[in-house]
Amino acid sequence: MSNPTAAMLVIGDEILSGRTRDSNMYHLAGELTRRGIDFREARVVADDHGAIVEAVQALAARWDHVFTSGGIGPTHDDITAEAVAAAFGLPIDVRDDARAILQAHYDRQGLELNEARLRMARIPEGATLIDNPISAAPGFTLENVHVMAGVPTIFEAMVASVLPTLVGGAPLLSQTLTVERGEGDVAALLEEIASAYPDLSVGSYPFIQGGVHGVRVVVRGTDKAQVDAAVTRLAGMLEA
């Protein structure tokens, strides 16, 4: 059986404007690879209700899991929870269990659970909470969509909470060959290897270091014997 699949939806004007550099996609990709869940697509959308609804519906219909980041804080532009609820045609309101988590958190800090902070307890009907050990405000899972904060430390903690609950597959293995030749010199060899091993992914990543042009060839797959065989064969072809 093939591995489960996943996509990511990054939400935020600050990402699209270049003000904030996204690191959550990089983190999620590594964690999914180790879990044996194939990361197949990523999108970035603005803090726009309609854009979020459209992207959630499209991704949720196509892939087994969708991970979102951003837009679940206490301010007016944090609209992800409402948009995800709308994508599934479900109501959203302050939920008692989420409110209790926030109340305990702010009581410990001697702070008021005001109306702005209470926004973070708004959860779509039927969703399951995602634990947030960093700042308490929970994310949530609704059907196959996992809604998480955009702050990297919180996002990473939420990913750690969710992944053990998901069924994974065979972890993706990879080996890298560094070749000091241009892509044009090795393209035919790479095509031959890709044809000989259709279950593997053969990627070519050029670089220039110290004025020398080269290529890092990365062979990926879930079958270690095939990956080893493909790399060994390619190495022999390059030497010849």
- The CATH number for 199's domain is 3.30.70.600
Distance CA 167, CA 12 (A): 29
Q: Considering only CA atoms, which of 207, 205, 197 is closest in space to residue 228? A: 197
Locate all alpha helices (DSSP H) within the chain, ordered by sequence: 13-16, 24-35, 49-62, 80-87, 96-109, 115-118, 152-162, 183-196, 224-239
Mean pLDDT across the stretch 128-155? 97
- Kindly tell me if the per-residue pLDDT of 234 is higher than 70: yes
Beta bridge partners of 42: 8
> Does 27 share its domain with 131?
yes
What are the backbone dihedrals phi and psi of residue 144, each rounded to the nearest 5 degrees, phi first?
-105, 20
Domain boundary among 165, 191, 211: 165
- pLDDT score for 240: 81
The pTM for the full model equals 0.88
Residue range(s) defining the domain that contains residue 126: 5-165
- Kindly tell me if the per-residue pLDDT of 1 is higher than 80: no
Q: How many domains does the chain have?
A: 2
Q: Considering only CA atoms, which of 190, 171, 169 is closest in space to residue 179? A: 190
> Does 31 share its domain with 62?
yes
Phi-psi region of 78 (alpha: psi -120 to 50; beta: other; left: phi over 0): beta
Instruction: Give the pLDDT band (50/70/90) at residue 187.
Output: very high
